[in-house]
Structures are given as C-alpha cells and as structure tokens.
A and B are shown apart, each in its own frame.
Chain A
C-alpha cells in the first residue's frame, strides 16, 4: 500500500474577486522509499496541494473543497488540528525554498533543530543535543559542536538548507515534502543538496515529495513524476516514461523548454566591437572593511555580431562586468573600448550618445519597469530622448516596437502591473531596442520567468538579435541556456576569468577544475544530453 494516497483533492481560495480553484481534483500516490516529483509552473497549485494536506494554508481564504489524503490509513483532511500537529514534524516533515528566510533569525540553529524532537518525543535537552549534533554531521555541517549554537545568519545559504534538512529528519519522518529546496541556490550547491536528499532518502527508505518548477532538476533523482498545470494533473508516470515518451503536449512543451543543444559558433571571426582590458571594478564598503574586488583584472573581446555568454555563480562578478561596460557602476581601473572609443573616459553629450548605442535588459521584469508609466510612456521615452522619433511620429514608433517584441497593440496604454512576467520582459526588451543599439547586455533576462516563458523570451531575443544585427553579452548562471544561445562562453569565478571557449569546447573538453565542477552540477545532464 502506498504511504500517501491522495484522491480527488480540491482546494480553492475565496477572495473578493471570486473563487480561485487552486487545486482542482488531483489524485496521486507516494510510495515509501521513492521520490515523487510534482512539477508545475508558478500558480499550478503544486505547493498548495501539499500544504493543504498538512493544514498549512491559511483558512480562510483557503478552503478544502473535497477529496481524501490517506496517510498510513488515516485521512489527513479529516484530522483535527491537534491530531494533524502530531503528524506534522513527526511523521511528515518539510523543507522549503528559501533557506535564508525559513530559519528563525532570533534563535540558535541548535535550539531550532532540537525543537521538534523535544516537542514530539519529550526527550531531554542533552539527548536532543546529542541527536542534533549527529544529524548536523550527517548532513555535512563541519564541526557541528562549534556551530550548533550559532545563529542562522552565520551560515551560508547552502549550509542553512542542510540545517533545514537535518531539522526535517530529526524525528525520522516517514514522508518528507521538499518544496523547491534548491531553487534559491547556486548550481554547484544545488547539485550537492540534491545529492544529499537522494542519499538520505535511500538510507532511511522514506517517501519524498519533491516539488519543483524545473524538470531538469528532478531528472536525476525522481522515481515518479507528476506534472501539474492550472490545478490539474496533466500527466504522471515514472521518470523514464516522462522523459522518453511524454504524451501530454504540456509535458512535451516543458521538456522542449530545457535547452540541450549547443549553438554553432559563427563561421567567420569579425573584428571586435568591444575590447575590455584589465577591467577592475571594486566596491568600498566604507570604514575599515576590506574592498570587495567584484571584478578583478578581466580582459576579453566581444566581436561584432556575436553573442558572448558570461557564466558564473552568485558573487562571481558577472553582473558587475555588464554594468561596468555600460557605465552603470564606476569602473576602478582598466579600459573598455567600444568601436575604438574608451567608454570609461566619456561624459556629457558624448556619454549620452554612447548610451544610445549600448543598452541593457535586466533580470527582474517586475523591478525594471517604472510602475507609474504606461507601456507607451516607457517606450516613447528613449525614442524622444534620442530624437529617433518626433512628437508626431512617436506613436508609430512605439507601435512598431510593440509589434517587434510581440505585444498586442491594444496593451499600449496599460501599466506594468497589469502584465505577466513574460509580457513585462517583452516591454523591457522593447525599451532596450528603442534606441536602435548596436550592443546589448542581457543580465539573466529569463531567470525570473517560468520555464515555458523562458523559452519564448530566448527565442524572441535570438530573432531580434538577428533582425537588429545586435552584438550581445548574455550574462547567466545557467550553463545550458548560455550554451544554447552564445557563440563563445566566458567562465567567471570570484571576479576573475577562468576559462573561455565555444559551447562545444567547454562542454566536451573543459580545461579548468572549476569549469568541470560547474558542468557536473548541471541537473539532468545524463537524461537530457
């Protein structure tokens, strides 16, 4: 018999604007000793389904409309709050997405770790501490004795997620629900955490529900995969079945959205448009604190018409390089020459004119548009500023941009908050293109978007890149995306260049240790290659 048997579960949220069916009659089961992945984009109801079984959604506005969730012979949905509490944290444990916010900042890690053990099993402090130390050691925290009494802010993100995992396992639960446990982490850390979860699961032979928006992430660890869309399960099956012959078009779309090919590099090698020499961008933190060398002695060329990928983990300085080229952060030393002109020395009208020729697409489409300006105003601003259109022709110019980026003309008088993330990113792309730039820095332009939307935006960028004859610096943490898009790739580590090459060179014959570790961390390589 399955460990958890969910049948026809339906959950809705009652708001002033009506009833939103977040989970619309789903059924699935979780076996002991297996990892069941629930895959879906934001708003698909994947988290709500799991949280509602444990009574962790606020009610109201949440409401369970029906169904059963039988766990070890008992229907969780019928349990009283106090009975459910005995299940939570003892038989069913959870880990969450953002380890930075999921631990109580006012309590030592040790206390938080011991809390479920003491509460559910009434063990003594000393016993609980002993057990906590063992677990910290097991999840890979070095020297647990000296760190157990630290506060969460003294741990890195990856370490905090390890603590969360230890906390979830301290009562030896039978079912572990992991809600996007690696989404907030860097690729290499993600690989470690995935590995850890899979190991612990095998060792303890427990059931795991792994919630994720990313099929690739679960490709290596899931036994069963459930695909959700808009509150319904569209497809379910074992891993091989889903990856090799998915039948539902949505699953196929999700699979297709995972970039797995390598762009064929440009045949010819045109002369460089941008030459970066010994670029240093350092930030002083004020006072006596050491200077942060975000970018340190970096040199490279960007050839006319190519897409140069810039890859690195958080803190590698990749975004700072992009911003340094555009003079959005002050450069400490070095030279950035654009078409023969040293950008770092420009000011006044010369700088303004240079800004017209190079533009940026930002990561977060929710932050990169002025919330108080309509699409029209946002797109008209650069057109008028640089005299590309005059007052009479600006409307036509704006509408042309909207056509180019695939936005309906009817939206022209709407405000950013009335659009989805993908649509906003289209507006932001339109704004960047408005000045008819020759060069664009795209800073993680799709990492805030759902997987299927990512693919659309990447396609759009490629298409427009050709149409406008753009040279592009594509900054990303995602090697697979960069390989798909870039002619050449630079690998960055702690502010310095590590390796450079075409996608194929890097993937097939990485020269440096760091590049190899990045590559091996890409989730689902084996299945997707």
Chain B
C-alpha cells in the first residue's frame, strides 16, 4: 500500500504553477529579458564598484581638464580631470540605492497599511483610506522640494520623503487586492475549513496579491530614481562630494556646449536603467497578467 502511494506521487506529473507559467511567459518577452539582464549588470557593477573602478573617486587632474573619451579614460574626463567612467559608476551606486531603498520604504509602509485596511474592512478601512485620499491630494513634489530646502540636503531624508510619497499608491493597490481576494470563494472556503486569519493571510491572500505588488514595485523604482535625479538636477538632492546620475547630468548640462560627453554618458546610464526597469515592469505585468495598475 505505502509503496504504491509513493510511486503514485512520484509518477504524478508535476503541474505548472502560475509563477512558473509567468516565468515562461516572461522569458519569451525579449525586451523584458534584455531589461532584466541590463539591470542585473548595472546592479552588479554598482555593488563591486570600489574594487573595479578604473580610478579613485577623489582623483582629480586639474591640468588635464575635460578630455573626450580616450584609451586612458573610456568615457572622457570632466573639467576637473576626473575620470567620467568612475564618476558614473559611483553615481550609479547612489542613484540605484535611492531607487531601491526608497521603494523598499514605500513597499513596507504601503503593504502593511493596505493589508490592514483591506483585511479589517469597515470603519477602520474607511478611516485609513480616507487618510490616504487626503495625502494623495497633497502636492508632494512641491513638498519634497520644500523639505529639502528646509532641512538641508540629507540623504536619509531624501529616502524617507520619496518613500513617503510612493507608499500611497502601494497601499491602495494592496488594499484593493486584499479586499477583492477576501471576497473570493477560495478564501471563504479557507474560512469554512476553520483556518486562522493569520494562516489565511499567509497561505491564501499574500501569494495571490504578490503579482501586482511585484509589478508595481518594478515600476516604482524608476519613478523614484527619476525623482532623485530631478531633485539633484535642481541642486536639492544629492550633494557633493557625493554624486549621482542626476547631479552628473546637471553638471553636464552646464558645460554641454564644449564638452557634450559630460552630459551624454550619465544621461545614457540613467536612461538605460530606466528603460530596463520599465521594460521589465511591462513584461512582468503581461507575464503575471496584472491589469489596471497605474497605466
């Protein structure tokens, strides 16, 4: 009997889970795969920059000044004779870090808030989401500028401020997910089996809400990176001696007439990263069959 059962289970054809299904679909989407590879490449570079950067971050060569790309400086040098490739690599660390950390902040706050509101329902939900509505109506872009002006250009504050804007949408998505899942018959079935609410959330709700969250997270990172670059461009974001792609673009724009490569290369780095993330996000949306999120 027992041996029979074991062989039955082993011979049973393995099903294709929705995750595996989505992965197979994603793999067929060439743009998304290119996006994923590019993104991983940029992240790896950012992680190991201190060991592989061709020059030291502080190294200047005022005598050299700005030079176009050459064998010694693949992407040229800036007006202080600093190696552009090194600058872009270090700038990428900051830009990516802001993108990922601020998104993580938004993710944690938004998911917790949305899940509680969605699962509690009733009055708790009404109050919590009313607050989100009010915050939504606030002109945050202007507020962030104000915050940066008032409290000085502080990286931690930048993370928090950007995260604080983006969590709102995350909360809305999570809440609508939880709410619609709660009404699904399979969750009712889980309740009627006698599972505890914690188990229901863990086994039945979270795995099914993950798709839209993943997609939206992927699409939030580029918008956060844009916001950072925007602030840095205005001089309200990352401050020297640190640098970011937005700051490099800002410097490049000042001298683009004589030294266009100082604008073009950091611009390219930022645009490529945003492309990868957006293509990956679109691909994930199609692969996970998520509808109605943002655009």
Binding site for B on A (CB under 8 A): 323, 326, 328, 351-353, 355-356, 358-360, 362-364, 367-375, 381-382, 385-386, 395-396, 399, 409-415, 417-418, 428, 431, 435
Contact = CB atoms under 8 A, between A and B. Distances in A.
Contact of A328 (B5, B186, B188, B195): B188
Contact of A352 (B14, B17, B194, B207): B194
A418 B208 contact: no
Which of B17, B186, B188, B195 has the largest count of A CB atoms less than 10 A from its CB?
B186
B8 A409 contact: yes
Of the candidates B6, B8, B208, the one having the most CB atoms from chain A within 10 angstroms of its own CB is B8
A413 B192 contact: no
Interface residues of B, number: 31
A399 B5 contact: yes
B193 A381 contact: yes
Contact of B184 (A367, A385, A418, A431): A367
Contacts of A374: 15, 17
Given A352-B194, A385-B194, A414-B13, A372 B18 contact: yes
Interface of B: 1-2, 5-6, 8-9, 11-19, 21, 184-186, 188-195, 203-204, 207-208
Nearest to A408: B12
Given A371-B18, A385-B194, A386-B194, A362 B13 contact: no
A358 B2 CA distance: 30
A90 B15 CA distance: 50
A328 B191 contact: yes
Residues of B contacting A: mostly: helix
Contacts of B17: 372, 374, 415
A385 B193 contact: yes
Contact of A399 (B8, B190, B191): B8
B185 A364 contact: yes
A342 B271 CA distance: 65
B65 to A, nearest CB: 57
Contact of A355 (B8, B11, B19, B192): B192
A274 B186 CA distance: 25
Contact of B189 (A360, A371, A372): A360
Given A386-B194, A413-B9, A413-B15, 5 more contacts: A367-B186, A370-B204, A395-B6, A410-B11, A417-B21
A396 B203 CA distance: 23
Nearest to B184: A367
> Which of the listed residues B5, B6, B16, B208 has the most CB atoms from chain A within 10 Å of its own CB?
B5
B12 A412 contact: yes
Contact of B1 (A367, A375, A396): A396
B18 A412 contact: no
Contacts of A355: 192-194
A450 B287 CA distance: 30
Contacts of B11: 410
B185 A368 contact: yes
Contact of A410 (B12, B190, B195): B12
B15 A418 contact: yes
Contacts of B15: 374-375, 411, 413-415, 418
Contacts of A418: 15-16
A356 B203 CA distance: 19
B193 A435 contact: yes
Contacts of A328: 188, 191-192
